[in-house]
Amino acid sequence: MRTVYAGTSDFAAAVLRGLASGPHRPALVIAPPDRRSGRGRRLSPPPAAVAAGELEIELLQTEDVNAAVVAERIAAAGAEVAVVCAFGQLVKEPLLSAIEWLNVHPSLLPRWRGAAPIERAIMAGDERTGVCVMRLTAGLDSGPLALCDELAIGPSEDYGALSERLAAAGGRLLGAALDRRAGGELGFSEQSGGGITYAEKIGAAERQVDPGGEAAAEARRIRALTPHVGAFAVLADGSRLGLREPTVAAAGPDAGVWEPDGEALLLGCREGALRIGSVQPPGRRWMTAADYLRGHGPPSAAAVSPR
């Protein structure tokens, strides 16, 4: 079955690679234009565009998926189905009705509709999540469901590990959905009207770890933002210390106070303490907490600003 694929992120790129390895390899990939990023502010293509190049699939980069040229390119590709995954642009009429659109979304809908479903599931302490293939509609991730696959969230799993597993599942599920559609057997069921939650985009303030909170919640924050967004503690001198590899200790120093704990750093919280395995000092690369301690000693106290 000839398909087109619209995506942006690393997750979308991973699903694209899975789709391209099967019988429904896309004839066209649609992605946003290159953006400036990083300290050098260099132009960089989105991950889905990079994947399209590696896979030697025709690529269309556009600021507006609803522009007339996009519909023309989709028609020229002879596509029967369009797939959207972590794209970041809303498909509107008349393009929405010009071709059937399937949406790959990494959550167990209707829980965590929206922009950051993987992060929000980890931050909320969900024990399970998953991936769904649905029909794209005008509503936000509200279309009828075709197939879903459920996965357990590991107790210490971070965004990077969980998103990789979800992308692999999403690629398999999308292939199965397209197989069924090719055979005229793809059915849909409406989402439940209860249990709807929204995964808002991660705000800048949410990256800051707060020792005035519960250590378990702050550990989930760090895992949810590792490695793509990044969580940090603001130290007493105003500098930021990036944090990764958190575990929770039942007790520790006072809230905001750091102390060595073997090969790790212990940060006291209002309830419990965070044991941090690796850190990133300002302007430096990531290093183990043990290496940091050998060169710096314990950091200055972290800012405590209860939310």
Residues 189-217 have pLDDT tens digits of: 999 999 999 999 999 999 999 999 999 99
pLDDT over threshold 80, residue 38? no
Domains of the chain with CATH codes: 3-199 (3.40.50.170), 205-296 (3.10.25.10)
Q: Once rounded to an integer, what is the mean pLDDT over residues 238-246?
A: 97
pLDDT over threshold 60, residue 306? no
Distance of alpha carbon 131 from alpha carbon 150, whole angstroms: 7
Q: Once rounded to an integer, what is the mean pLDDT over residues 51-56?
A: 98
**Mean pLDDT of all residues belonging to the chain:** 96
- Confidence at 31, pLDDT banded by 50, 70, 90: very high
Task: Confirm if 240 and 282 have CB atoms less than 8 A apart.
Answer: yes
Q: Once rounded to an integer, what is the mean pLDDT over residues 17-22?
A: 96
pLDDT over threshold 60, residue 90? yes
pLDDT over threshold 70, residue 25? yes
- Helix ranges (H only) for the chain are 10-20, 47-55, 68-76, 95-98, 117-123, 159-182, 215-224, 289-296
Q: Once rounded to an integer, what is the mean pLDDT over residues 154-159?
A: 97
DSSP helix/strand/coil, 9: coil
- The H helix count followed by the E strand count for the chain is 8, 17
Q: Once rounded to an integer, what is the mean pLDDT over residues 130-139?
A: 97
Q: What is the pLDDT of residue 22?
A: 94
pLDDT over threshold 70, residue 157? yes
Q: Once rounded to an integer, what is the mean pLDDT over residues 62-67?
A: 98
Q: What is the pLDDT of residue 305?
A: 67
Q: What is the pLDDT of residue 41?
A: 76
Task: Confirm if 157 and 224 have CB atoms less than 8 A apart.
Answer: no
pLDDT over threshold 70, residue 250? yes
- Confidence at 1, pLDDT banded by 50, 70, 90: confident
State the virtual CA torsion across 137, 118, 85, 190 in degrees, nearest 10: -30
Q: Once rounded to an integer, what is the mean pLDDT over residues 262-269?
A: 95
The DSSP secondary structure of 138-174, one letter per residue, reads SSTT-SPEEEEEEEEPPTT--HHHHHHHHHHHHHHHH
- Confidence at 128, pLDDT banded by 50, 70, 90: very high
